[in-house]
Structure 1
Amino acid sequence: MAKLSLSSPTLLHSVSIATNPPLLLQRNFGIIWWSQLISQIGDGVTKLALLWFVYAVTGSALQTTIIGILQTLPPIVLGPFIGVFIDRFPKKIILIGTDLIRALVIGVIPCLVSHEAFTVEFLYVLVFCNAVATSLFAPALFASIPFIVEKSALTAANALLQSTMSLGVIFGPLLSGLGIALLSSQEVLCINVLTYIGSALLLVFVSIPEVTHRAKTFRNSLINYVKDLQEGIQFTFFQQPVIVPLMLTAGLYSFVMSAFHTLLPVFGRNMLKFGPVEVGYVTSGVGVGLFLASLFLAKVNLGAQWRRIRLLATTSLMAAFALWALTGAAGLPLSLAIVVVIGMGSGVLTPIEWGIIQEISPPQLIGRVLALYGTLAMLAAIGGMTMFGWIMEQFGEIWTLLGMGAVLLITSQVAFKLSHRVRSHSNLD
């Protein structure tokens, strides 16, 4: 049986990392945070504008959902290979390049195409290209963090980056909606090119150290590319026993929360008997909870890994009870408060788990590990949306929420057991 290793790789210590100043005041991380904030707001604008355009042209909910499918496919199909790419090439170049690609396919091209030629099919091609670039950006970003942030600050750094996502969810659709009302969805996409270009320009000033032996190990053949992928799989699933349980908890959480986010408007309308305004308030509660969790993790140093995993287990249990409580909620204030709690539970998982993976993964493998982690979480998300969508159609909203809570209860137990295991090995060391 593989030994449970909890220490960071020695190679990581060869990287020069800034110390002492607060994260947002550290030059490299501060620039990345502002770049991400601009980019996430741009993503929020893009998502609503794309969905609005397709539905306005076709009037078909099915064709509109194809946008979601096209955005999901690249991370699943290309995820493991993307990890190899990230470990081979300079991460700064990947981050800038993917921002510029997104600016081109979602901003520049729509500006150059006439209204008559800008068909739904053409838009689908652009969405797919944008999804490929996005599936490169996220793991490259988080694979860069261990090179510019102290090990003890990784969870806080991930939480601060997650806060940009929650702010993007809050402000992106608002700006997009205003733009669509005043202009058109196509013109909103044109203007939104500025967010991605702005993000890329900021990233030019970031310094991301690379592993010094990269040039000696750079290989281009397909055979060696596959060998690199096998190396990542071997480490992830067989050499580092902590990662698989973390992936299991992430998969279970994604299984539930992706479905909950998708079906929340249905819960609000059919079960809680809310109108569109109230449903909007409740939906925003998820983003509020996510933001509060991000602020907490950015401020509080939880220390040992087992403590962080214990918090993950506790918040999973809390979210399970909140899902069950939602079945009996009455009125907007109580429903909103419950949804905020659910959002807080969701906001704890990613910064903690990615922080631990960043700590224990060798620098030359971190892109592959994070990409594999993300791919499995995405697969679980699709499975959750499919399963709970079927449960809702067959048995109704209450049984759906009860099932979601049951899965999160299992998630909390898996995390509690992992925290005990990590703690016992830490005491032995």
Structure 2
Amino acid sequence: MSIPSPSPDADRYWLRRFAPIWIGQVFSLFGSGLAHFALIWWLTQTTGSAVVLATASLFGLLPQVLLGPFAGALVDRWNRRRVMMLADSAIAMATLGLVILFAFERAQPWHVYVVLFLRSLGNAFHWPAMQASTSLMVPERHLSRIAGANQALNGLINIAAPPIGAFLLALWPLPHILAIDILTALIAVNLLWLVHIPQPQRTDAESAVTPRLVVRDVRDGLRYIAAWPGLLAILLMATLINFLLNPAFALLPLLVTRHFRGEAIHLGWLESGYGIGVVLGGLLLSVWGGFRRKLWTSMTGLFATGLGAMGMGFLPPSAYPIALGLMFWLGIANPITNGPLFALVQARVAPEMQGRVFTVIHSLASAMTPLGMLFAGPIADWLGLQTWYIIGGLGCSAMSLIALFWPVTANLESQPLSKVASAEPSS
């Protein structure tokens, strides 16, 4: 297998072909952000139950954790443009069903659970298809810039969607807000009609898709990762980062109330500071593009993340303004860390394996949030809330230095593509 390289003309006009897909995702992600906020707010007002909100989060998480690798195997086998179109359409249809239930005042919390599950299942197919398509349409030297733009977009939506959603809920009934999500999904689907997404060649592309074949594809994807020590190290590192950092952010409300003696507004300012930092960090990466070696850019961001987290762990109760600055710092470091890491995987992993690789990364990273909380909660109660920030910060900074000087990861980017491709197991 050889990884195809675009012709000079294809390289020249890549942005013209990629822009419709990206613009479609701007609409789709914004609509999804509005819908998610509206549904969570409805559950909050209707039930006032923490158990209900936790259950909703679980239903929105499980498909991508448990089914992600199988979705990735299908993405690597199916036409990726059709996968994205069908995923967006299925999400819109599920939301339409909820609109009808709300319109007839028949909606119950369990209906919302089901729709959150279906939306998450659709995203389990759409996200790896989008990531795997990007590497086939964007020249390698621009992958970090696109990753930075994606990070900025996600940060901007996280900032804008909640207040816009709250404003619209004050004007319109809930079904109208959900209808916006359906409309934005249809815009994304129609824009996908305008582009051609290259499809990787497979020797078994004509084989009938059966459960046994999908399981074999998943097994081949895991073997591909295991046979490539550098990729396996990156996967384990991404998993450990989420294990260390996600619980720290989950503990932020307690840090505000117990340590800084703050109110809801103080938590809001910290979250806004982080979100603004993510947007600016993503824009910085999209303009700058990072260092010539993506690993150095990513590990610089990870080292900065570790310093910021440790700083949060050592702040006295009177240092809330410094905490605000550190959250802004952490926000900037987030896309600098994640963007080049995604670009590195896109540039080095064989195109026909990317769906599986990305979903394995995403599934393991998502699973680390609840697992990390199992450890972080007792440790925070035993040794203090700030202890986990110090642990997470030290872990991230140490990992960044190890990755830069450990030959397995340090040489990952300079490995010839032909050697990378040879890591794929035979079918």
**How high is the TM-score relative to the length of structure 2?**
0.89
Verify the 8 A CA contact 2:102 2:174 in the aligned structure 1: no
Report how far residue 114 of structure 1 moved: 4.2
CA distance in structure 1 between the aligned counterparts of 2:8 and 2:83, rounded to whole angstroms: 21
Does the aligned pair in 1 maintain the 2:225–2:357 contact within 8 Å? yes
Q: Residue 72 of structure 2 aligns with which residue?
A: 83
1:17–1:147: 8 Å Cα contact kept in structure 2? no
Aligned partners of 2:85, 2:164: CA distance in 1, in Å? 24
The residue aligned with 2:383 is 395
- 1:310-349 matches, cutoff 5 A: 310-326=296-312, 327-328=314-315, 330=318, 332-349=320-337
Distance 1:82 1:16, change over 3 A: farther
| 1:103 paired residue number | 92
Q: Which secondary structure does the structure 1 equivalent of 2:44 belong to?
A: helix
- Mapped partners of 1:422, 1:358: distance in 2: 17
Name the residue aligned to 1:248: 236
Matched, 1:262 2:254: no
Shift of 1:177: 1.0
User: Mean Cα displacement is larger for which, 118-127 or 384-393?
Assistant: 384-393
Per-residue CA deviation, residues 249-286 of structure 1 (Å, 9 max, x unaligned), is 21122113322332222222322222222221210122
**Is the deviation greater in 183-192 or in 137-146?**
183-192
- Kindly state the Cα deviation for residue 366 of structure 1 after the two structures are TM-superposed: 1.3
Matched, 1:129 2:115: no
CA contact (8 A) 2:295 2:413 kept: no
- Alignment equivalent of 1:155, drawn from 123, 144, 147: 144
Task: Flag the 1:110–1:263 CA change in 2: closer, same or farther, 3 A.
Answer: farther
The whole-number CA distance in structure 2 between the counterparts of 1:378 and 1:109 is 26
Instruction: Report matched runs for 1:195-344 at 5 Å.
Output: 195-213=184-202, 216-238=205-227, 240-302=228-290, 304=292, 307-326=293-312, 327-328=314-315, 330=318, 332-344=320-332
- Alpha carbons of structure 1 residues 180 and 424: separation in structure 2 relative to 1, 3 Å: closer
Pair 1:115–1:15, CA change in 2 (3 A): farther
1:352, distance to aligned residue in structure 2 (A): 1.3
- Structure 1 window deviating more from structure 2 (174-183 vs 210-219): it is 210-219
Deviations 1:122-165 (A, max 9, x none): 11111111110111111111010011111121121222122211
Using the TM superposition, name which of 340-349 and 166-175 deviates more. 340-349
Tell me the alpha carbon deviations over residues 94-131 of structure 1, each in whole angstroms, 9 at most, x when there is no partner.
Answer: 11111111112124532354454200111111111111
Please name the residue that 1:363 is paired with: 351
Instruction: Could you tell me which runs of 5 or more consecutive residues in structure 1 were left unpaired when the two chains were aligned.
Output: 1-8
Return the letter of the residue paired with 1:43: S
**Deviation (angstroms), 1:354:** 1.5
Are the counterparts in 1 of residues 140 and 347 from structure 2 also a CA contact under 8 Å? yes
Count of residue pairs brought into register by the alignment: 415
* Deviation of 1:72 (Å): 1.0
- Structure 1 SS opposite 2:251: helix
Q: CA separation in 2, counterparts of 1:149 and 1:243?
A: 21
Q: Which secondary structure does the structure 1 equivalent of 2:4 belong to?
A: helix
1:405 to 379, 383, 393: 393
Which whole-Å CA distance do the structure 2 matches of 1:67 and 1:425 have between them?
40
Closer, same or farther: CA 111–417 of 1 in aligned 2, 3 Å: farther
> Please, which runs of 5 or more residues in structure 2 have no aligned partner?
420-427
* Cα deviation, residue 424, structure 1: 9.3
Partner residue of 1:12?
Answer: 4
Q: Which one is further off, 80-89 or 313-322?
A: 313-322
Structure 1 stretch displaced more, 85-94 or 414-423 = 414-423
Change (3 A) 1:59 1:425: closer
| Maintained 8 Å contact 2:33/2:162 | yes
Q: Structure 1 residues 421 and 60, CA, compared in 2 at 3 Å: closer, same or farther?
A: closer
TM-score using structure 1 length: 0.89
The residue number in structure 1 matching 2:134 is 145
Deviation at 1:15, TM superposition (A): 7.8
Letter in 2 for 1:256: L
**8 Å CA contact 2:404, 2:410 repeated in 1:** no
1: CA distance, partners of 2:67 / 2:343: 23
What is the Cα deviation at residue 385 of structure 1?
A: 2.9
SS in 2 for 1:192: helix
Q: CA deviation at 1:246?
A: 0.8
Q: Give the match for residue 4 of structure 1.
A: none
CA distance in 2 between partners of 1:288 and 1:83 (Å): 32
Change over 3 Å in CA distance of 1:199–1:390 after alignment to 2: farther
